[in-house]
């Protein structure tokens, strides 16, 4: 049955043509241009010069900070989303949906708008500091710090963690958890030995979906980091729009892409492990 279906689909493979054309023209070709620009000089000769420029301390520092902040915001998103998904799993009905939508709300608003809102919240004379001073507490310096950027990332990208994680956790049957309890596992042991391993695909794909945009963002770091905190995204933007050094900008993009490809490979690897589980008798 399955074979026949796949045979029918492959005989209709021409249906994929529009997308294949689209992908070739607007995804593969531009990527090739980025690679080409990053690895050649102005005259079209191959050179590793731009790539080695990336190894200069100021670029490396930005790269390191970008990876660190992206990792940190991924971890925070995971810690926030996991318990939420566990709770949502148990009450799947009406109330669950409401909480779920609440967490997805940032997706429906323009991220530029929400980031600017965070700007006014965290400013020197912003809402947080106004509240603190009203309470007689000393103000905090948040805006233009890495912390502010992480808050912005978490706020904007949390939904991308919640969605795959929820799908993966809600797929775990209640009787699996009951079986673990029945065999002597307390709630914590059940989480560690059964829930976490079974939801690993969700954890990995959620993490990928938060890590990649966090790594490449420049809007959040520009608005919440001022010019004090430079991330790779900001440098790439500057190389293209201010310094007009397309070669260096492309080389930086290529380096960034390596991280992204690594991440996607990790996700593909955990998903292929999951393949066997889908076959239910």
Partner 1 sequence: MKKELLRLERVSKSYDGTQILEDLDLTIHENEFVTLLGPSGCGKTTILRLIGGFETPDSGKIWFDGRDITGLQPEKRQVNTVFQKYSLFSHMDVAENIAFGLKLKGKSKSYIRDKIKYALKLVNLESYEHARVTQMSGGQQQRIAIARAIVNEPKVLLLDEPFSALDLKLRQNMQRELVKIKKELGITFVFVTHDQEEALSMSDTVVVINQGWIQQIGTPENVYNEPENAFVADFIGDSNIIDGIMVRDHLVHLLGKDIPCTSAGFGENVPVDVHIRPEDIQICAPEEGQFAGRILHVVFKGTVYDITIEAGGFEWLVQTITGHAQGKEVGLRLMPANIQIMAKPESVDEEAVNDA
Compute the distance between CA of residue 38 and CA of residue 277 in angstroms, rounded to an integer: 42
- Kindly tell me which of 30 and 187 has the beta carbon lying closer to partner 1: 187
Contact between 159 and 114 under an 8 Å Cβ cutoff? The reply is no
Total binding residues toward partner 1, as defined by CB under 8 A = 23
Spell out the residues 6+ positions from residue 254 whose beta carbon is closer than 8 angstroms to its own.
34, 35, 38, 39, 51
- DSSP H stretches of helix in 91-173: 94-108, 111-122, 127-134, 146-170
Q: According to the binding rule CB under 8 A, does residue 277 interact with partner 1?
A: yes
Residue 94 in the binding site for partner 1 (CB under 8 A)? no
Among 61, 92, 181, 228, binds partner 1 (CB under 8 A): 181
Check binding of 193 to partner 1 (CB under 8 A). yes
Residue 93 makes contact with partner 1 by CB under 8 A? no
Q: Under the criterion CB under 8 A, does residue 95 sit at the interface with partner 1?
A: no
User: Which residue, 193, 172, 203, is CA-closest to 88?
Assistant: 172
CA distances from 91 to 15, 115, 166, 174, 190 (A): 41, 32, 12, 12, 19
Stretch that binds partner 1, among 95-103, 123-131, 190-198, 218-226 (CB under 8 A): 190-198
Contact status: 197 vs partner 1 (CB under 8 A): yes
Point out which span in 20-28, 140-148, 191-199, 251-259 binds partner 1 (CB under 8 A): 191-199
- Residue 90: HSE in the Cβ half-sphere, 13 Å Cα cutoff: 7
Residue 147 binding partner 1, by CB under 8 A: no
Residues at the site binding partner 1, with contacts judged by CB under 8 A: 173, 175-176, 178-186, 189, 193-194, 197-198, 200, 276-277, 279-281
């Amino acid at each position: 049955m399955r074979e026949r279906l796949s045979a029918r689909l492959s005989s209709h493979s021409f249906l994929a043509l529009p997308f294949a054309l689209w992908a070739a023209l607007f995804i593969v070709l531009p990527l090739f241009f980025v690679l080409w620009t990053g690895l050649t000089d102005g005259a079209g000769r191959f050179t590793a010069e731009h790539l080695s420029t990336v190894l200069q301390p100021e670029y490396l520092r930005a790269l390191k900070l970008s990876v660190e902040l992206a990792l940190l915001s991924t971890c925070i998103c995971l810690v926030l989303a996991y318990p939420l998904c566990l709770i949502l799993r148990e009450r799947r009905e009406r109330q669950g949906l409401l909480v779920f939508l609440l967490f997805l709300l940032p997706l429906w608003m323009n991220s530029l708008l929400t980031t600017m809102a965070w700007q006014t919240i965290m400013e020197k004379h912003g809402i947080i500091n106004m509240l603190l001073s009203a309470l007689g507490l000393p103000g905090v310096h948040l805006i233009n710090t890495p912390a502010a950027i992480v808050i912005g990332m978490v706020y904007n990208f949390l939904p991308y963690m919640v969605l795959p994680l929820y799908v993966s956790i809600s797929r775990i049957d209640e009787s699996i958890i009951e079986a673990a309890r029945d065999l002597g596992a307390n709630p914590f042991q059940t989480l560690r030995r059964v829930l976490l391993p079974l939801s690993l695909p969700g954890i990995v794909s959620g993490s990928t979906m938060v890590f990649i945009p966090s790594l490449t963002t420049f809007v959040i770091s520009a608005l919440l980091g001022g010019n004090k905190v430079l991330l790779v995204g900001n440098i790439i933007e500057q190389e293209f729009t201010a310094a007009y050094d397309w070669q260096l900008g492309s080389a930086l993009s290529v380096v960034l892409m390596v991280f992204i490809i690594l991440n996607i490979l990790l996700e593909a690897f955990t998903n292929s492990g999951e393949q066997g589980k889908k076959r239910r008798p």
